Amino acid sequence: MNRERLTITLADAILRKIDSIIDNQTIRNRSHAIEYALGRFFLPRATKVVVLAGGAGVHMRPLTYEMPKALVPVHGEPLLGHTVRALEAAGLEDMTMVIGTLGKKIREHFGDGAPYSVQTAYVEDKKENGTAQALAAVRGKVGAEPFLLVYGDVLADIDWMDFIHFHHAHGGLATMAVTNVREPKTWGVVAMDGTRVTRFVEKPNGGATKSHLINAGLYVMHPDVLAMITPRMRSLEEELFPTLAAKGELHGYHFSGKWFDVSTPAVYERALKEWRAR
């Protein structure tokens, strides 16, 4: 992102508010804080949401023999329903769900989105050849502005609009939400320099890893990313994200809210105990 140096004068009250958002991590100094605050007001926001809601949910059986993982209930609401409600509350109402196994039931539950006060369209990923091909299925449907990509089996207490503004402020083709866990090796492990992801390794094999930051399954992406997905590419995590990191085009947005990748019975049990919707 090109920048031009300016000299400005601010009232003390405004400057105190600017200083209050400096955390030395996401916001490093006054210049960055002012740019960030102005960006929230002026920069375009992602208006479209893509949800990857396919997959057989093998590790969640027997629950997923009859229902897709995205509809597994959490406190009386389908797993994906919690995310859709949070997105709607943030003003993100234009959604495309990529569905596969048992996708008919997702379509039946969410319909055109009216029950959740959103607009929902569907794309079928009949071959289910991995996350890369599932994302490629939305080519031509996301427009020219950055879009939000969400995995349908993730519960996250995240400030969606702050996440989007962070992406615009830092540039790059993609921004990945990252969170801390004690045992990172079962997820995609992230190494960062400032906000830039310098290395990404999906489920590293053997040995200890220095980083406890992992991929949270939530992203803001520029549509140009879709052109990088070849017909043979299967996994965003194993193929696309390492490439973006190597090119310096992947940033990490660190958030500390509750997060659950509801992909196993053990995580599902924890989510039932600890998740509290806003």
- pLDDT tens by residue, 102-117: 889 999 999 999 999 9
Write the single-letter amino acid at 135. Answer: L
Rounded to two decimals, the pTM is 0.82
From 203, 110, 219, select the one nearest 154 (Cα to Cα). Answer: 219
Q: With respect to residue 4, please indicate whether it lies within any of the assigned structural domains.
A: no
Catalytic, 126? Answer no
Grade residue 32 by pLDDT with cuts at 50, 70 and 90.
low
| Mean residue pLDDT across the chain | 85
Say if strands 73-74 and 119-124 run parallel, antiparallel, or are unpaired: unpaired
Which residue has better confidence, 124 or 126?
124
Residue 223: the pLDDT is 94
The string of pLDDT tens digits covering residues 206-233 is 555 566 788 899 999 999 999 999 999 9
From 158, 207, 208, 216, select the one nearest 187 (Cα to Cα). Answer: 216
pLDDT > 90? residue 85: yes
Residue 240: the pLDDT is 94
Q: With respect to residue 12, please indicate whether it lies within any of the assigned structural domains.
A: no
Residue 243: the pLDDT is 94
Query: Phi/psi at 277 (nearest 5 deg)?
Result: -70, 150
Catalytic residue, candidates 104, 203, 210, 273: 203
List, as one string, the DSSP characters of 209-275. -S--EEEEEEEEE-GGGGGG--TT---IIIIIHHHHHHTT-EEEEE--S-EEE--SHHHHHHHHHH-
Report CA-CA distances (Å) from 93 to 74, 114, 271. Answer: 22, 10, 25
Give the residue-averaged pLDDT of 26-48: 68
pLDDT > 60? residue 123: yes
Q: With respect to residue 269, please indicate whether it lies within any of the assigned structural domains.
A: yes
From 251, 194, 198, select the one nearest 220 (Cα to Cα). Answer: 251
Split into its structural domains, the chain has a count of 1
The string of pLDDT tens digits covering residues 161-196 is 989 988 988 889 999 999 977 776 666 788 888 888
Q: With respect to residue 21, please indicate whether it lies within any of the assigned structural domains.
A: no
Give the residue-averaged pLDDT of 124-137: 88
- Provide the 3-class DSSP secondary structure of residue 64: helix
CATH number of the domain residue 182 falls in: 3.90.550.10
Share of the chain above pLDDT 90, in %: 46
- How far is residue 213's CA from residue 271's CA, in Å, rounded to a whole number? 20
Enclosing domain of residue 147 = 41-274
Judged by average pLDDT, the poorest of 42-56, 230-244, 251-265 is 42-56
- Provide the 3-class DSSP secondary structure of residue 167: helix
pLDDT > 80? residue 60: no
